[in-house]
Structure 1
Amino acid sequence: MDYDDKLTYGEAVSQAESFNLAGYTDWRLPSIKELYSLIMFSGLDVDPMSDSESKPFINVDFFDFAYGDVEAGERIIDAQFVTSTLDVGDSQFGGGNLMFGVNFADGRIKGYPTGNRPGAAGGKTFYVFYVRGNKNYGQNDFFDNGDGTITDQASGLMWMREDSGEGMTWEEALEYAENREFAGYNNWRLPNIKELQSIVDYSRAPGATSSAAIDPLFDCTEIQNEAGQPDFPFFWSGTTHESTRNGTSAAYVSFGRAMGYFDGQWQDVHGAGAQRSDPKTGDAGNYPYGHGPQGDAIRINNFVRLVRDLD
């Protein structure tokens, strides 16, 4: 199998069992945390139908990469890669049964249907990177320090147990972190996007566990989403998402439903644990029906969970 032979989710799962490369036969689909470890935010998000000024969100010196095949009717950004991590939430987008995939063309994690799409012949197809080795990669080892902080002994990072309790713009989030003193420490900061994604618990989702997609050791402020449901926030990272918009957006992770206005209603289109980007400043009221083909909700005032490096 060539790397760029796209497969459906079912084909990717089944072909892993017989995949043989470099003398190894224990290849498997990566988890979302394993695959996301390859992402690089030196990439450039581009026009969905044009590869001008394009730069993938992966190191092409080491990994093969191809954009979508426009001549075959795909979009340039149809470069989604499959993982073994399924959405446990209640999203019915695209027929339900979503899989979290990484798009190295536009630098995002989204939920994608694993089966046939309504009104389409066959299922969505994906690029595939198989992996082998450490099956414990991405597993957290949290320890409650008893002072409002939680240490992940797997990553060597200390997190605040509580979040900011309110949304704010990206610049306000930077200022919030810079001026914060807590538990005797004054070196708190916004996490970069990989650090933030590292604490997502993909076995949790509002529609499945009535909780945020994070270990219950953490407190997570409840909000009401665009559909009027009890939900949990998007959280800012300190990572700028470069694009033709000249760095005016920053990457975030949804710890609740990743809402979009689609088919005339607000619904969870991408799943708890999705990673996208939103404008650093502006007025979310300018996006009453979201943005993009799935009507992705735009939340300019996102929440914050601070982190610090262990001394």
Structure 2
Amino acid sequence: MKKKHIALALILWSLPLLPVWAFGVTDTGQTTCFDNEGNAIACPSPGQPFYGQDGNFLINPPSFSKTDSDKTVTDHATGLTWEVKTAASLEETVTQTEALAYIDGLNAEAFCGHRDWRLPTILELHAMVDFEHDGPAVDTDFFPNTQKTRHYWSSTTSEVEGVTKYYLLNFDLGHVSNTTNPDTAATVRAVRGAPLTNPSRYHLNMDNTVTDFNTGLIWELKTQENTSDKWHQHMAAAYCNDLEIGGYTDWRLPTIKELLTLIDYTRTEQPMLHMPVFTNSVIAFHSEISACYWSSTTSVTPVIQTGKKTMAWAVDIQHGVTKRGFKTSQDNSGDAFRVRAVRGGQALQPGGLVITNPKPGSTWHKGDTMLITWENPSPEIPGNVAIAISCDGGKSFASITDDTPSDGAYSWTVTEQDDVNGVLKIMPLHGAYAARGASTGIFYTECRKYLCAIPHDDTTREIGSQAVIDVKLSTAPENTVAFDVTCSDDTEARVTPKALFFSSENWCDTQYVTVTGKDDTEADGNQDYYVNVSVNTEFTKDTSGFAALAPTQVSFTNIDDDTKQSDGEGSVKAADGDTSGGCFIGCLETL
């Protein structure tokens, strides 16, 4: 194993000491690929029919070990420890109140030496599900005596439009449902460990995509034009495979576990997504009973109906539950749901390398030692490998090492990096095996905080024409962030408003600055100036880092109407000048 230090010319934001594992969405366990008739097939390659389904991709594979004399199981992918049920529990049912009392009893007796047992959240229960199997859809080697005909209580509730709902999971298929009746007969499995919550931690990439800090996934942001489009499941996968947004072409249909992480159970209105990030997310129309989005995960339980026998999983964003829909079959029938593309994780290559660390969704900081690990297939790929890192989601890469033994591990010390969308790539150097490399993401080498200012135009005119600047924050602040808006030359233009305020509620709402040209009555030619957006420290209450942002400047040219320059057709031409625009990153190092 080798160790190497590498420095990339990026700006560090903060210096925590340890890598952080955020949400830890786990792989579904589904490794088999299917056609539309439910037949198992060899997992297709890009460009082949049925490519883009769950079995083509891997993200955080489950890893269990038995602990406490087989009374508990530790899930190393999530860090949670689960109670193992006994045969006597197979016939037990409890209400929601009784489930909480059961947890209290475990803590009172210090079950397995611990007093921090609790009811799992619905996302934690769902993370246990093995979608390669059913009846029960769980790894029975580690979780014996799992009831497949009963629901399991979670601690998750919602209060949508004044109605309290309790969320449960059925391990027969891995189905998430809800009930308004807390006296429903269900069962209980205790868990301990840091809760896998799903707080609103999103980063707008300003290119119609958004990064989820917790899962390490980049999501498509729908537009008003395509938010209502509905597809059969295989066409939904094809839509994602053909999508190009933000300069990326590796979009895919999300797995059912990935898709469920978008649900915000704290919402009091429909849809149950974090708003305003997912603003163009429709709920059901009047003729529909739900608003479902397809996943890439096939239901392995066959359902025989006329012309239909294979189903795939979907998430209902109106109710926060999972459902199944029919795939298209030979008679071209099947359910049509909506689609939201995702990228992240790693595409599996037959006979290729598999990266096991870093994990998608993890965060790394200056001075951290990142142990890069990977698995070599059997038979092994001969020769050494090269390792590279991308700080722009995989568009470009910088070398970590050009040549190291393919022994499954490489130690790298992170220095001076600032990136949200990190991707790691490992490439065999043996020419015959070059295509069997692997890449994984998205992880973070820092969370950038910046102001994005995008002008619609770069000129104003003395006759009073206007330009508009769209202003957003990259991510949610913890408290209010105030900005002053000024013009470098008040004789050439005026700006309105002169102050902007962002909060955790409106951080990704576009605010607009209007720039109006002023007439100075002098034949002084075209004049360059800039609009300055700077933090007002007096009114900024946020302490998460936005107060240290450098000023953002957007350049303009005010066209002089007293001295006209003809282009041969009588029109007015602006003098050449700086036409800067786009996203301006103003990060200052904090010590």
**TM-score between the two structures when normalised by the length of structure 2:** 0.39
Q: Which residue of 2 aligns with 1:300?
A: 335
- Say yes or no: does 1:188 pair with 2:255: no
Q: Which residue of 2 aligns with 1:129?
A: 189
1: distance between equivalents of 2:284 and 2:201?
Answer: 30
Counterpart AA for 1:56: P
- Say yes or no: does 1:85 pair with 2:156: yes
- Say yes or no: does 1:253 pair with 2:291: no
Q: Which residue of 2 aligns with 1:8?
A: 95
Larger RCO (alpha carbons 8 Å, 6+ apart): 1
Give the drift of 1:110.
Answer: 0.5
Counterpart AA for 1:125: A
Counterpart AA for 1:79: R
2: distance between equivalents of 1:88 and 1:185?
Answer: 37
Shift in CA distance, 161/232, structure 1 to aligned 2, threshold 3 Å: farther
2: distance between equivalents of 1:66 and 1:151?
Answer: 35
* Greater displacement, 159-168 / 142-151: 159-168
Secondary structure of 1:303's counterpart equals: coil
Shift in CA distance, 16/279, structure 1 to aligned 2, threshold 3 Å: same
Residue 62 of structure 1 is aligned with which of 142, 145, 167? 142
Q: Which residue of 2 aligns with 1:172?
A: 235
1: distance between equivalents of 2:105 and 2:284?
Answer: 46
Q: Which residue of 2 aligns with 1:43?
A: 133
2: distance between equivalents of 1:153 and 1:97?
Answer: 29
Residue 107 of structure 1 is aligned with which of 171, 174, 179? 174
1: distance between equivalents of 2:122 and 2:255?
Answer: 17
Contact 1:234/1:253 (8 A) holds in 2: yes
2: distance between equivalents of 1:139 and 1:40?
Answer: 25
| Superposition misfits of 4+ residues, deviation over 2 angstroms | 1-5, 64-67, 112-115, 135-141, 219-228, 244-247
Secondary structure of 1:125's counterpart equals: coil
2: distance between equivalents of 1:243 and 1:90?
Answer: 34
Shift in CA distance, 249/112, structure 1 to aligned 2, threshold 3 Å: same
Give the drift of 1:97.
Answer: 3.8
2: distance between equivalents of 1:140 and 1:222?
Answer: 19
* Greater displacement, 299-308 / 178-187: 299-308
Q: Which residue of 2 aligns with 1:146?
A: 206
Percent identity between the two aligned chains: 27
Q: Which residue of 1 aligns with 2:485?
A: none
Q: CA RMSD in A?
A: 2.6
2: distance between equivalents of 1:35 and 1:224?
Answer: 27
Q: Which residue of 2 aligns with 1:212?
A: 271
Contact 1:57/1:107 (8 A) holds in 2: yes
1:203-242 to 2 correspondences below 5 Å: 203-204=266-267, 208-209=268-269, 211-216=270-275, 217-225=277-285, 233-242=291-300
1:5-37 Cα offsets, whole Å, 9 max, x none, are 221111011221231310111111011111111
Give the drift of 1:152.
Answer: 1.0
- Say yes or no: does 1:201 pair with 2:264: yes
Contact 2:137/2:171 (8 A) holds in 1: yes
Shift in CA distance, 111/176, structure 1 to aligned 2, threshold 3 Å: same
1:124-152 Cα offsets, whole Å, 9 max, x none, are 22121111111244445211111111111
Secondary structure of 1:174's counterpart equals: helix
Shift in CA distance, 238/114, structure 1 to aligned 2, threshold 3 Å: same
1:105-133 Cα offsets, whole Å, 9 max, x none, are 12210012433xxxxxxx32212111111
1:161-200 Cα offsets, whole Å, 9 max, x none, are 2174211100110111111111100000000110101111
Shift in CA distance, 175/102, structure 1 to aligned 2, threshold 3 Å: same
| Matched pairs, number | 246
Counterpart AA for 1:62: F
Give the drift of 1:232.
Answer: 6.8
1: distance between equivalents of 2:139 and 2:164?
Answer: 30
Give the drift of 1:244.
Answer: 2.6
Counterpart AA for 1:218: F
Q: Which residue of 2 aligns with 1:30?
A: 120
Contact 2:302/2:310 (8 A) holds in 1: no
Contact 2:207/2:245 (8 A) holds in 1: no
Shift in CA distance, 221/198, structure 1 to aligned 2, threshold 3 Å: closer
Q: Which residue of 2 aligns with 1:72?
A: none
Residue 279 of structure 1 is aligned with which of 313, 326, 329? 326
Counterpart AA for 1:32: I
1: distance between equivalents of 2:259 and 2:119?
Answer: 22
Higher strand share: 2
Residue 243 of structure 1 is aligned with which of 297, 301, 309? 301
Extract unaligned runs of 5+ from structure 1. 45-54, 68-76, 116-122, 257-271, 287-298
Give the drift of 1:250.
Answer: 0.5
2: distance between equivalents of 1:17 and 1:97?
Answer: 23
2: distance between equivalents of 1:81 and 1:225?
Answer: 31
Counterpart AA for 1:302: F
- Say yes or no: does 1:21 pair with 2:111: yes
Extract unaligned runs of 5+ from structure 2. 1-84, 345-392, 394-422, 424-591
**TM-score between the two structures when normalised by the length of structure 1:** 0.72
Q: Which residue of 2 aligns with 1:261?
A: none
1: distance between equivalents of 2:246 and 2:302?
Answer: 41
1: distance between equivalents of 2:123 and 2:146?
Answer: 21
